[in-house]
Structure 1
């Protein structure tokens, strides 16, 4: 299979888009940080202070890291879905003598090429966006005398990191190639069943251990935060480890939640079919859900953390937050939400892509449903309900995790801060949940589900019942 052929396959375009968004995001953030640093140096009062520059660099590092982290999970899920759809083709190659490792290396090379193409596009887009953004900002604010060159070797770092991350994600996502046997060339290419997922002891144990260690570090960070703000560093690693465990064990953790959601859709034939399809192959539905969980968790986490911080500062100010403090906090919260929103966009691209890939790989199955008597409208409703099933579960899970992580972050950072005029420490505070933001997240995700299901629902009815029966 030549490079031009597989680049045209479904899934590759979305992977290129994810790589491009991640790279452009990193380039713009690095340029913005550099420009702000140049502004500080040009200011006689702030030129000698490196604290703000360090804070901006740290924020850039964290946000770029989050974007690359989300992109890696989305890319790994995409390639895992692509490999699942190629099981029979891979088995045929095994049958004529190809080794599993050579097949996996080929998939990894595809990931490297996809990552390089996306990183190149993102690098150009990011540089052009940075040049335009700095010019517009300088004109609007009337800034003069700030010498800053956008084209710098440091801008290559996001491109290289994204390309290598995409290659590594493709390698991780293609691990199923090692389990494909030549005998599977005689059968169909199906995802792993619930029973097969449960039997993967090594992966499941790793996921549970990561979650347990992460939760322990979160608790330790919260406890340390009652004494020192350094508790946020411990909580940060706890959050990363615990969420990584959830992502690794998504096929183990998500099915019970999906089953609970399925009861909301009633007992009609279409609703029961959609619910069972989401549960029958947990890997497929979990891959779709985890991307949305990541996006919702990140946005909710920052919103809850900022709202909880405002509560602590309000107590410290005696019950009313001064305007000179409230305005910068609100502005910072808005900027952070917009930046974190990039990771949510990456996750949204992954949902649309995986839902489309899933329908493409199941066109024969959907055609058979039509042959058994389901109308075109019913088949479309099955696909739409599956998307709603996964999305509702992912949104609820993401909101719960976001509230937990956001509160843990704010608590571990601000637990030792004076919470009233008597300089008493804040101690343990209840998480502050910004209801408007949560409502906005739910509404945006509902729209995303409808948009994401447009192409798949059309593809679902493209195969006629006769063709499905002939291929069965």
Structure 2
């Protein structure tokens, strides 16, 4: 549960830092009587902080739910044995949910304490540099408990959602192992699949409506935002249909060696586990790419409307805003990366018998390590490519719905403007490098675990 505690701590710390930064900036604005509209600016900052905190909690909730779902999948035989001797499925699910609540409370408190200390140090160092050291601001405030409470409750609910598989475990499964369902079983989940398609189609329709409305009014971005959130939720709900084909396509590029073929086959054989591993990272990559494309596209459109070049002060302000948003969204990406590492490690732990069998059949330690590394590469590449495609699409939709009504040529008749998506190549390049580093880091612990146990000991479990 260490990774889940870290996810909760990061989410809570981000919320505390956002609230503290917003309050401190508002205090600075209110302390300067020459600044007009400071109250409006404080409201805007508060709304932005709430949105960014919501994104971090959303990512953390999905990562936590996926983690607990993987944990429950590995406990199938233990849960079935308890069911066999009289335990109820609901009592087992309550046990998992209680673990989630404890994890959330511990992580939230750690994040609250760490972020408060960090905020105090940053304010003490930044005040003199900005010339606002004399601005009074109380650091310890009651509202700092809000993100900690939200994270704790969200982690608890995520554990409850991730443990829903407990209800389907039967006592007869005590005679077997923890076997995950094949792709065909998920393809037959008609209710969930239909719900995923309906949610995605409804979100895509709202997204298109927002783009159309954006040709006449910038308020189209609100409709597009709702559509983007709804359509992306549909993709997450239908991840067991979306990710296996993508993983299969990527698997063909891994090669035809035995470790490569086994790594690719694991994605098709265990679609639920593979989808859980990939979707958290897909969310992180999509968020970073979306904001980068939207901000670069906005900058390009504003530069065109200003005659080809933005004023230096506006450029500096937009660059600073871009850096802040990117840093905050990067925390969400880190949360997703922690989830990938944790799920890959859990996957190896839960497959010790399988890996022991491979060793007993003649595979060397190096081949097993290579197979686990290829699995990490397989999932990371598929997640990054999917996230890049989705991020570019959503980023362009956001910029188009916001800026489509802007007239680049005042002499031209009024009509909608087609916003071309700006490709932030440095961000995309950094994403590829980060993915390569993440693959190596994610595979370090699992590869050691995969070869530490002797084949006979693994087969005896």
Aligned counterparts, 1:399-418, within 5 A: 399-418=388-407
Q: Look up the match of 2:431.
A: 441
Q: Distance in 2 between matches of 1:414 and 1:199?
A: 43
Q: Does 1:374 align with 2:363?
A: yes
1:310 is aligned, of 277, 299, 312, to 299
Rounded Cα–Cα distance in structure 1 between residues aligned with 2:92 and 2:415: 59
Matched, 1:80 2:64: no
Summarize the alignment of residues 265-414 of structure 1 with structure 2, pairs less than 5 Å apart. Answer: 265-414=254-403
How far has the Cα of 1:55 moved from its partner?
A: 1.3
Q: Which residues in structure 2 correspond to 1:16-31 (within 5 Å)?
A: 16-31=5-20
Determine if the alignment matches structure 1 residue 427 to structure 2 residue 417. Answer: yes
> Is 1:191–2:180 an aligned residue pair?
yes
Matches within 5 A, 1:218-237: 218-237=207-226
- Of 171, 174, 178, the match for 2:167: 178
TM-score, normalised relative to structure 2 = 0.98
Residue 469 of structure 1 and its aligned partner are, at CA, apart by 3.7
Provide the rounded CA distance (Å) in 2 between the counterparts of 1:80 and 1:404.
30
Which of 137, 140, 152 is the aligned partner of 2:126?
Answer: 137
Matched, 1:157 2:142: no
Deviation at 1:465, TM superposition (A): 1.9
Relative distance call for 1:327 and 1:420 in structure 2 (3 A) is farther
Q: How does 1:114-133 map to 2 (within 5 A)?
A: 114-133=103-122
In structure 2, do the counterparts of structure 1 residues 442 and 426 end up closer, same or farther at CA, with 3 Å as the change threshold? farther
SS of 1:374's equivalent? coil
1:9 alignment partner in structure 2: none
Using a 3 Å threshold, how does the CA distance of structure 1 residues 48 and 404 change in structure 2: closer, same or farther? closer
Query: Kindly tell me: are residues 89 and 331 of structure 1, through their superposed partners in 2, closer, same or farther at Cα, counting changes over 3 Å?
Result: same
CA contact (8 A) 1:318 1:421 kept: no
1:421, CA displacement in angstroms?
4.7
Residue 453 of structure 1 aligns to a residue whose secondary structure is helix
Q: Is 1:452 paired with 2:442?
A: yes
| Matched residue SS, 2:156 | helix
Give the root-mean-square deviation of aligned CA atoms.
Answer: 1.2
Report the equivalent of 2:46: 57
Residue deviations 1:383-411 (CA, integer Å, cap 9, x gap): 00011011100000000000011111111
1:137-166 CA-partner distances (Å, limit 9, x unpaired): 102112143111111111110011000000
Alignment of 1:33-52 (within 5 A): 33-46=22-35, 49-52=38-41
Give secondary structure in 1 for the equivalent of 2:460: helix
Aligned partners of 2:403 and 2:419 also within 8 Å = no
Q: Are the equivalent residues in 2 in contact too, given 1:226–1:427 (CA < 8 A)? A: yes
Choose 190-199 or 278-287, whichever is displaced more.
190-199
Would the aligned equivalents of 1:226 and 1:415 in 2 still touch at CA under 8 Å?
A: yes
Q: After superposing the two structures, state which structure 1 stretch, 148-157 or 414-423, moved more.
A: 414-423
- Render the CA deviation track for 1:400-442: whole Å, top value 9, x for unaligned: 0000111111111111123235475661222111111101101
Q: Is the 8 A contact 1:419 1:426 kept in 2?
A: no
Q: 1:214–1:237: 8 Å Cα contact kept in structure 2?
A: yes
Structure 2: unaligned runs, 5 residues or longer: none
Deviation at 1:321, TM superposition (A): 2.3
Q: Aligned-pair distance for 1:206?
A: 1.5
Summarize deviations over 1:213-239 as a string: whole Å, max 9, x none.
Answer: 111111111111111111111111111
C-alpha distance in 1 between matches for 2:402 and 2:286: 19
Deviations 1:120-140 (A, max 9, x none): 111111111111111111021
Q: How many residues align?
A: 460
CA contact (8 A) 1:318 1:420 kept: no
Say which of 81, 85, 88 aligns to 1:92. 81
Cα distance in 2 between the residues matched to 1:346 and 1:48: 36
Equivalent residue for 2:250? 261
SS at match of 1:293: helix
SS of the residue 1:50 aligns to: helix
Offset, 1:468: 3.3
* Structure 1 segments of 4+ aligned residues over 3 angstroms from their partners: 420-426, 468-471
